[in-house]
Each structure stands twice: as C-alpha cells, then as structure tokens.
Structure 1
Amino acid sequence: MLPKKVSRVIASHDGVITRSRALELGMSRHQIDGRLDTGEWRRLHAGVYLPADRPVTAAANLRAAVLAAGPGAVARGPSAAWWHGILDSPPAIPWVVIPRDRRACIRNALVLRRDIPAADRTRSRGVAVVSRELAILETAITLPRGTAFLDRALQRHTLLPSLMQAHERNLPRRGGARSARMLAIAATGGASEAERMLVRVLRGSGITGWRLHVRAHGFEIDLAFERERVAIEVDGWAWHRDAERFARDLQRQNTLVNAGWHVLRFDWHRLAHDVAGVLGEIRAALARGRTPGLG
C-alpha cells in the first residue's frame, strides 16, 4: 500500500514521481526498489518513475523530462507553448532548457543549454516552464507558418509590448533575428507589406491588367482587375484589425459584391506561405470574369 501522500502526488502529477520526492514523503529505498523490481513502477528516466498502470502521456513525458534534467531545468519552445494552452498539440519529444553551466543527457528529449532570465521562468501545474511570451517567440520560429501562430497568439494570449520585452531579455539567442523580423511585421500590422507582396506575386507570374487603389462605388479597392470586375482586398495580421475597421471592410465587400464584383481576400500569411494557392484563386476569378454569363 502506498502512503497517501505519495498517491496524491502521483494522481496530481500525471502519474510521475521522483525518487527524492517519494523518499521525502516517507517511502524507503527498499520500498521504491521493490516496486521497480516487480514492475509495479517503471523507470522513465534515472530517478523518475511512473506506475505501470498509468499511461505514458505527453504530459507525463514532459513532466518527467523536466524533472530528469535537474535543477534549473524548464520546459521550452513548443513544449511550453502546449503546456500553456497556446499550441494545440505537443511536439514529438519534450523540449527542455537547462542552465548554461550544467550538462544533462535526457533520453528522447531536445535539451538546450541557455540561461533563462527570472522574468521568463514560471511554474504551471507543477512544471517549470518558460514564460508564455518566451514560449510564443520560441515556437513561432519553429513552425512552417510561424507568423500565423504569432498572429493568433497576439489575438488570444498576449500583447505585443510583452513579446518585445521578452525578446529583448533573451538576446542573444538562436532564432533571435527571425523573431525580430516577425515582431517588426507584427508591429506595423503587415497590411502595407502584404500589398507589396501581392504586387510582387502578380509581376512575377506575368499576370497583367490590374491597378492599385481603384475607386468604385464609394470605396477604394486595394487592387482591381476592372475589365473582369475582380477586386482583391489585402489584409495584414488579424490582431491589428479593430472592430470598426472590420465592419468597414465587410461593408465595402458587400457593396462590391452587390455591384457585380468578384471579391477575393488575401492576408499576409497566405501571401507569404501559399503563393501557388493565391495565384490559382486569382486566375480562377479572372477566367470566371472573362466567361460570358459567369461574370
């Protein structure tokens, strides 16, 4: 029979318990070793255990990796973003950072040596993790569509000044330059850059017959193919668009549609990461506008 205190720790920590914690709570070395010998407990890492009847979940894996990495270790990057509830799924293996003056070899974990400022260290559900802001910055540079992830994070989880402060506190670091570029785009909202990206895409593809900033029906269209009556509206990052601007954009789009225009909308992220898809939609709209009876 396990001591009640040990059972409570196991129940509240995804099944994970360390040897040192079990000893603190009244178990003897003989009792711990006996459970390991009989297979009642399994060893996840040196000195970190899980009852055999408990599943090895992503949460248990991360908790165990941080504990096994020793003093000063914290979850980082996508692991921390997932633990904070910002990323929907955990990475395949835990991401952990340890102080620069320490070494740790953890099986099936991605371990980095770097000193994390106190302001960017916290605890969540009993696990040491980097701050929400640093987790967002570290994760954004690892994802194929990292800018879209950063945009969503700004809408739901943090503020731009907080991200910028975390960025400055953690320089220099691997990926710092890329984070700086993302933050610079986020600060401007990305709308002007998105328009320039669209122009580059059209020129590079050889598509002609368009004009910028066309006035029609009391509104200005970002880019228009007037003969085919195709209007393209360009959006920056979603977090930068307030309710008033959103309502105005909807009114403009509805007015143009009612006047017979085919309206396409592309945001910064589509233009940056899905050029082929953008061109395909534009070409389809232009073909529709040139086909009698479909315009």
Structure 2
Amino acid sequence: MASKVFVDGQEGTTGLKIRDHLSPRKDIEVLEIEPEKRKDTTRRKELLNEADVVFLCLPDAAARESVSMVSNPKTKIVDPSTAHRTDPNWVYGIPELSKEQRERIRDSKRESVPGCHATGFIMPLYPLVSKGIVAKNYPVTCQSLTGYSGGGRKLISAYEDVDAATKEKLRGPRPYGLGLTHKHLPEMQKHAGLENPPAFLPVVGNFYQGMLVSIPLFRRMLKNQIGAKEVHAALQSHYAGQKFVRVMPLFGEGHLNDGFLDPSECNGTNRIEIFVFGNAEQIILMARFDNLGKGASGAAVQNMNLMIGVKEDEGLT
C-alpha cells in the first residue's frame, strides 16, 4: 500500500523539489490541497491528519502551528524549517552521523531536517570532534558559499527579476549575517558537539544552486598535532559505506579545475563530498553539495524513506 504524503507549503522552493522527488514514485500517494484552500486551516488540518507523512515546508511559526494541528498519533512529520532542529523531542536528520542516529530517525515520528549551512559544517567536523581530534572548545570558524536559491523565492526574485543595472551590482559574492547571529548557529554548535558557537560567515553567490562550506584548522591545535593525512583517514573511516557521502582524495587530487573547486558539481544529487586540503601547518575541511539536495529536499526525502521503512536511497541519486 502506498504511503500517503502531504507537503504543507508545497509551492515554496523546498516543497516543489520534494514533490519532484515524490511524484514519480509508485509507493507514494501525494495528497493534494486545492489551490484556493492552501490557507484554509480546516482543510489543512484534514490533510495533516490523513497523511502517513507530512513535510512542513513553511516558516518557523507556521511549522509550529501545523504541528499543533496534528492529532493523528500515526502521522509522521518531517520538518525542513528551523523550528525544531535543537528540540530534544525531535530527531536531527543526518543519518550518516552514526549508526545510532540512523536508528533514531528510523524509529522517529518527529524529524527535523538540517539547515544547508549546518549540513556542510557538521558533516566534516562532527567525526573529528567525536574522536577528540578537534577539541570541543576549539575556536572554530567557518565560511559557507551558497547559490541564491538557498534564500527561497524572495532571494531568487532579487537576483533574477531585476534590471540590468541591478544585475551588474549582484555579480560578485555577497557576505551576509555580519552580526554573527545566523539562525543555523544553534544547531551547528549542538550537533557538531561544540561547547561554543563557531564564528560563521555565510556568503551568497551569483549562481542558482550549489554550496561550498569551509572550516580552517590549525594543526598545532589538534590532538597529537596530527596532519591532513590523518584527518583525511579519520573522515574516510567514519563515512565508509555511506552512499551519499564521499570523502574525496586528499588535497582534492583529480577534482579541481585549474586549482579551483566548483560549487555546482553535486547539483541535482543528494550527494555530499568532503575534501581535506592544507599544508604542513594548516588544514581546510570543505564540503560540497547541492543546497537544494542534501541541503534541503534530498535530505528530507532520505529521512522520510527511513521513517516509512523503504530503501534509504529510494528516489534519490
């Protein structure tokens, strides 16, 4: 029997991508809401409780409201919003972090999808913190470059629906969140296992999708002052056998274009690639992935697959 799925907020960037993943699948029945009733609380409540799985592709306050309307004890909720990412009653949706995390997701009825920046930060760093290679009180810094689709329809319009003079101003990358209080910081700190939040600088680029997240480390501050080779080996060991995680060759050998790392190489996939670069004194961890894939809709569907008991990679590449 097909699982009934309702995407609450199906017209947003993430909602549309989730529907793209689900629509070809014969094991999924997507419940439709009539266009004129998208803001009808009664109709939404009916669908929220009819569904086996609900995706909440909504702003935080609206996501919390939708959760409050779910009374069916069998309904499972996957929430891509920021609302529940540090809530102890919700499971955080990175199954590759550990065998135990994957089982928590599999057994959960309330799952929170990680933020795109947080995904690229936690996945390279958590294995090193959990092994004691990077101390929990390490003063971590991070820069994250994302395509403008990461800002949803409003930012997409700001880049695409403008005159020529404005387009010229938008050609270069633009740092934001300069008060160092980005909304992903709480989950980044908690799920990476850090005692303090990182100094985090997000940057939006003039390209539609793709991400590069970078974390510099000083060798002298690592356990036993280990180098890039040992850090790379630790990441390889942690992610061995994970379909959607690739620890790339040390120093990116064979994967650079004239010395440059392309942020769009993973677009259209649920894959994340982790790189280790550096020299005798310094190391840079880098994660490359699709902000709309492993950074949003792909991760949401991957977690849904676990929760309904089908193959984890069903409908994903």
Structure 1 length-normalised TM:
0.29
Q: Higher RCO, 1 or 2 (CA under 8 Å, sep at least 6)?
A: 2
Structure 2 length-normalised TM:
0.28
Indicate the structure with greater helix content: 1
Larger Rg: 1
